[in-house]
Amino acid sequence: MDAISVIRTKRDRGELTPEQIDWVIDAYTRGEVADEQMSALAMAILLNGMNRTEIARWTAAMIASGERMNFRALSRPTTDKHSTGGVGDKITLPLAPLVAACGAAVPQLSGRGLGHTGGTLDKLESIPGWRAHISNEEMLNVLDSTGAVICAAGDGLAPADKKLYALRDVTGTVEAIPLIASSIMSKKIAEGTGALVLDVKVGSGAFMKTIEDARELASTMVALGTDSGVRTVALLTDMSTPLGLTAGNALEVRESVEVLAGGGPQDVVDLTLALAREMLDAAGLKDADPEKALADGSAMDVWRRMISAQGGDPDATLPTAREQHVVTAPASGVLTRLDAYDVGVAAWRLGAGRARKEDPVQAGAGVELHAKPGDTVTEGQPLMTLHTDTPEKFDYALKALPEAYDIAPAGTSFAPLPVVRERIA
């Protein structure tokens, strides 16, 4: 076979055969198919889609490109969570130690930022000393000793996805539903977790802008997981507004620690608890009380052990950006909209994300919010603070924000969307 014939098949809206899929994934993993050829195929998939048979085979080929793990030696049931990505989505950070504090084992393989969305590993790497890359043996040791581990997938786990994941980020193909579903589920199935809860974001700041697309993605992934013997459930959650009050790396770590300490923004707390209950239920721990574990400090204890186990210092001062710029309210009234996508783009332009797969990120860069939809604001009041080490980025970031929010006259009623919109199992 050859890459050009595979690209042409999908370009011309044809169905890829199992043999074509197996070959192109294997050849790309080995370097026989070049990045520019896989980019063309990914764009064809974005534009023309894949049917369920193709997606299932593509996922299986991604899994077959590497090793598979299992956690049968652990005394606890395993349960994991994956988010499709959003703005201010730091939920993994408080969630993993919280679920571990309730008796489950949480093997959380996480990724880097994609486009305007933040990456869990980028956030945690703002903690001095913390290591994302650990061996499978270290992963099992951390999981056994603390109950939770957040780390990068090893080179041996779905290596085809590792290459394609980075390529999608810089070629405008992140939003392709077949590629999102296969990327997520190939890693999670190969990882070997017993249960999986999917947090499928929907709204302007998500890759799925409509509830219909979010349902399609969630249903596709639930079917892939269930067919592979993994108990899988999905929550469709709102991403029209950023989660919490921060979008960045160290900024979000700081906010996550506030949640573990019993505070933090209510939307972050609510979603953390909702996902924790789903994970514990899927793991067979229906009687566990995550709200109690958050309140009594046991989740914080697991967090500290988990960070320390990977070389991080949970007491270290987090990095802060050298420069700040305050955006103020142009009028008084009620803030009725704060667009997650625009805030995410601003954070990305400030240095919290990357334009090329090899780019570094700034630990302290991002956006700090001072008001959320439903809040009353006054003219001149700070709406958000932009953080960066490179002040020349302010003008570019500010260009993302003129249409990012609406302020209605005082007294205007406001009804926010629920954080959890639907459940698919």
Give 9-47 pLDDT, tens digit per residue.
999 999 999 999 999 999 999 999 999 999 999 999 999
What was the pLDDT predicted at 111? 81
Is the pLDDT at 338 greater than 70? The verdict is yes
In sequence order, which residues have a C-beta less than 8 Å from that of residue 194 and are 6 or more positions away? 71, 77, 78, 79, 230, 231, 283
Distance from C-alpha of 234 to C-alpha of 275, rounded to nearest angstrom: 9
* Strands 333-338 and 231-238, sheet pairing: unpaired
Structure tokens at 280: 């514990």
Is the pLDDT at 192 greater than 70? The verdict is yes
What was the pLDDT predicted at 224? 94
How many other C-beta atoms are found inside a 10 Å radius of the C-beta of residue 271?
24
Is the pTM for the entire model greater than 0.85? yes
Structure tokens at 273: 């608890």
CATH value of 80-309 in 3.40.1030.10, 2.40.50.70, 3.50.50.60, 3.30.1280.10? 3.40.1030.10
Percentage of the residues of the chain whose pLDDT score is greater than 70? 99
Report the first-to-last Cα separation within the chain, whole angstroms: 38
How many other C-beta atoms are found inside a 10 Å radius of the C-beta of residue 26?
15
More confident residue, 359 or 11: 11
Of the pLDDT bands very low, low, confident and very high (cuts 50, 70, 90), residue 157 is: confident
Distance from C-alpha of 144 to C-alpha of 136, rounded to nearest angstrom: 12
Is the pLDDT at 169 greater than 90? The verdict is no
Domain(s) of CATH 3.40.1030.10: residues in the chain: 80-309
What was the pLDDT predicted at 13? 97
What was the pLDDT predicted at 118? 81
Is the pLDDT at 112 greater than 90? The verdict is no
Positive or negative, the Cα torsion across 206, 211, 213, 218? positive
What was the pLDDT predicted at 277? 98
**What fold does the segment set 3-49 form as a domain?**
1.20.970
Within 13 Å and on the Cβ side, how many CA atoms surround 304? 9
Active site residues: 82, 161, 168, 183, 187
Place domain 323-408 in its CATH homologous superfamily: Pyrimidine nucleoside phosphorylase-like, C-terminal domain (3.90.1170.30)
Distance from C-alpha of 416 to C-alpha of 148, rounded to nearest angstrom: 33
**Residue 420, SS3 per DSSP:** strand
- Give the mean pLDDT of 118-128: 94
Question: What is the average pLDDT value for the chain, to the nearest integer?
Answer: 94
- Give the mean pLDDT of 355-360: 74
Q: Which of 271, 257, 242, 240 is nearest to 371 (CA)?
A: 242
Residues 165 and 109: beta-carbon distance below 8 Å: no
**Residue 201, SS3 per DSSP:** strand
Structure tokens at 174: 């992140």
CA-to-CA separations, 67 to 20, 223, 270, in angstroms, rounded: 21, 22, 36
What was the pLDDT predicted at 165? 82
What was the pLDDT predicted at 162? 85
How many residues are there in the chain? 425
| pLDDT tens, position by position, 230-252 | 999 999 999 999 999 999 999 99
Domain(s) of CATH 1.20.970.10: residues in the chain: 3-49
How many other C-beta atoms are found inside a 10 Å radius of the C-beta of residue 322?
12
Residues 11 and 44: beta-carbon distance below 8 Å: yes
More confident residue, 382 or 187: 382
Distance from C-alpha of 263 to C-alpha of 415, rounded to nearest angstrom: 24
What was the pLDDT predicted at 207? 85
Of the pLDDT bands very low, low, confident and very high (cuts 50, 70, 90), residue 170 is: confident
Domain(s) of CATH 3.90.1170.30: residues in the chain: 323-408
Distance from C-alpha of 174 to C-alpha of 172, rounded to nearest angstrom: 6
Is the pLDDT at 357 greater than 70? The verdict is no
